């Protein structure tokens, strides 16, 4: 029996396929036009980095990114304590996902190595890390990350 997640994914894929194909006024299925339409008042310009040095390394955690993680966790600790461990862990996950997304897509880095969050906070803000551990009642921050790889 398929899981609810796989059923939902299949339904979403089918809906996307229908939206991509499209229908005309008679209900006949016709492909969408192959050429984009234009509008005289709209201009879209895409620019690319002038050199490879301008492309961020999505696996690099800079000192600024490490500091930002601490700055994002610190103000949330009291909320997590008030919410209780289960809701607090969900909020903690949201904070880590948000931080990772803001810093060049570090989500992949965290998925590969959840303990990176402990190393960053242990080095950059050990007091904030300990407060988060106490509030979430966990022994490592990696233990509180749900939806990230093991």
pLDDT at residue number 105: 81
pTM for the structure as a whole: 0.60
Q: Which of 119, 123, 114, 78 shows the shortest CA–CA distance to 96?
A: 114
Mean pLDDT of the chain: 76
For 96-112, the pLDDT digits (tens) are: 999 988 888 888 888 88
Most confident of the following: 22-26, 107-111, 112-116, 124-128: 124-128
Give the number of other CB atoms < 10 A from CB of residue 20: 9
Q: What is the dihedral of CA 122, 127, 129, 132, to 10 degrees?
A: 170
Average pLDDT over residues 56-69: 80
Residue 140 to residue 106: CA distance in whole angstroms: 19
């Amino acid at each position: 029996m398929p899981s609810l997640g796989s059923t939902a994914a299949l339904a979403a894929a089918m809906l996307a396929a229908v939206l991509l194909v499209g229908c005309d006024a008679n209900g006949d299925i016709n492909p969408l036009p192959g050429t984009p339409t234009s509008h005289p008042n709209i201009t879209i310009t895409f620019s690319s980095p002038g050199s490879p040095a301008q492309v961020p390394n999505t696996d690099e955690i800079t000192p600024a990114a490490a500091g930002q993680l601490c700055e994002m966790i610190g103000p949330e600790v009291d909320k997590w304590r008030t919410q209780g461990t289960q809701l607090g862990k969900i909020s903690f996950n949201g904070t880590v996902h948000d931080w990772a997304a803001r810093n060049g897509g570090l989500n992949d880095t965290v998925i590969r190595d959840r303990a990176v969050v402990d190393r960053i906070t242990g080095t950059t803000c050990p007091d904030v890390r300990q407060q988060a551990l106490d509030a979430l009642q966990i022994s490592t921050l990696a233990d509180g990350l749900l939806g990230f790889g093991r």
